[in-house]
């Protein structure tokens, strides 16, 4: 008669075994993430195939690893912005309501105001009307020591008039957070010349309407510094005057149209 061997495994042994496998899986997970981050994805995939129990944890961890870590990684060219349509003639800086629920989305840096009316009577293309991303500046404008984003969008009316919307974002919980946004005036009428961060403050330079040279241009600008306090940007110090390096933010032709 053959010999029968009976093995008894107690509950403590089972717990130790599970704990050992869990510890091994955790080590495998750590190595898998490290290998993926240092540029060895093939070995990380092989490790996952050998130990399927860590596969899900590895790739869910990768999604955490590749998420945005700084505001510089935000794709502001394909992004949704609150937008308040202008009424009348914009001729001064106006801070707008950040709680506005009307959003527009830029695609490849552009948003068209009315696609149904962008062609003439006989199919002739009329000038673009809508928003265009002009640029993004990074700098500390809140005094917190971290980089914020200053996003500049130009609104083209389809004629000679254009003006700018400027959005200021901080970065929290790996997401951009809108602090404030404003609309500048029309070109020489307090239109945007420059905006940037300096010394923990927001600096806005607008073309001086008192030194305008036609509707398109001005030979002077006015600089105002703003401090972030109690959830808003408030002007600090006295405004400063200066001479711009160019009389218009955009090059213009003889007819006052920007090029």
Q: What is the mean pLDDT of residues 17-40?
A: 46
Q: What is the mean pLDDT of residues 210-236?
A: 96
Structure confidence at residue 258 (pLDDT): 66
pLDDT in tens, 148-176: 999 999 999 988 899 999 999 999 999 99
Structure confidence at residue 26 (pLDDT): 45
Cα separation, 219 vs 213, whole angstroms: 7
pTM of this structure: 0.72
Structure confidence at residue 131 (pLDDT): 97
Q: What are phi and psi of 140, to 5 degrees?
A: -80, 110
Structure confidence at residue 242 (pLDDT): 97
Q: Is residue 25 within 8 Å of 51, Cβ to Cβ?
A: yes
For every residue of 67-123, DSSP letters joined together read S--SGGG--TTS-EEE-----S---S-EE--TT---EEE-BTTEEES-GGGSB-TTS
Q: What are phi and psi of 106, to 5 degrees?
A: -80, 140
Q: What is the mean pLDDT of residues 203-220?
A: 96
For every residue of the chain, DSSP letters joined together read ----------HHHHHHHHHHHHHHHHHHHHHHHHHHHTT-HHHHHHHHHH-GGGHHHHHHHHHHHTS--SGGG--TTS-EEE-----S---S-EE--TT---EEE-BTTEEES-GGGSB-TTSPBPPP-EEEEEEEEEE--SSSSS-EEEEEEEEE-SSS-EEEEEEEEEEETTEEEEEEEEE--STTTT-EEEEEEETTEEEEEEE-GGGBSSSS-BS-EEEEEEEEETTEEEEEEEEEEE--SSSSSS-B-TTS-B-
Name the most confidently modeled range: 30-34, 66-70, 155-159. 155-159
Check the CA dihedral 60-65-66-71 and report its sign: positive
**Distance between alpha carbon 46 and the CA centroid of its chain, in Å?**
37
Q: Is the pLDDT of residue 42 over 60?
A: no
pLDDT in tens, 104-120: 999 999 999 875 555 55
CA distances from 56 to 38, 235, 241 (A): 19, 52, 60
């Amino acid at each position: 008669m053959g010999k029968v061997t009976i093995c008894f495994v107690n509950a403590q042994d089972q717990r130790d075994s599970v704990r050992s496998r869990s510890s091994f899986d955790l080590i495998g997970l750590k190595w898998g993430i490290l290998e993926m981050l240092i540029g060895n994805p093939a070995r990380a995939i092989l490790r996952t195939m050998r130990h399927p129990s860590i596969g899900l944890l590895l790739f869910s961890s990768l999604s955490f690893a590749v998420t945005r870590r700084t505001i510089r990684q935000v794709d502001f060219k394909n992004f949704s912005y609150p937008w308040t349509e202008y009424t009348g003639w914009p001729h001064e800086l106006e801070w707008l309501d950040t709680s506005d629920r009307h959003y527009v989305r830029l695609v490849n840096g552009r948003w068209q105001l009315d696609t149904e009316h962008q062609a003439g009577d006989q199919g002739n293309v009329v000038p673009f009307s809508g928003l265009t991303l002009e640029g993004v500046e990074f700098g500390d404008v809140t005094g917190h020591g971290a980089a914020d984003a200053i996003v500049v969008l130009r609104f083209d009316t389809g004629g000679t008039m254009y003006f700018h919307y400027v959005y200021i974002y901080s970065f929290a919980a790996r997401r951009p957070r809108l602090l404030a946004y404003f609309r500048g005036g029309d070109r020489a009428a307090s239109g945007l010349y420059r905006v940037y961060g300096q010394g923990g403050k927001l600096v806005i330079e607008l073309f001086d309407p008192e030194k305008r040279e036609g509707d398109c241009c001005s030979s002077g600008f006015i600089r105002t510094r703003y401090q972030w306090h109690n959830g808003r940007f408030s002007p600090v110090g006295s405004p400063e005057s200066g001479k711009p390096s160019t009389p218009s933010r955009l090059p213009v032709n003889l007819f006052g149209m920007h090029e």
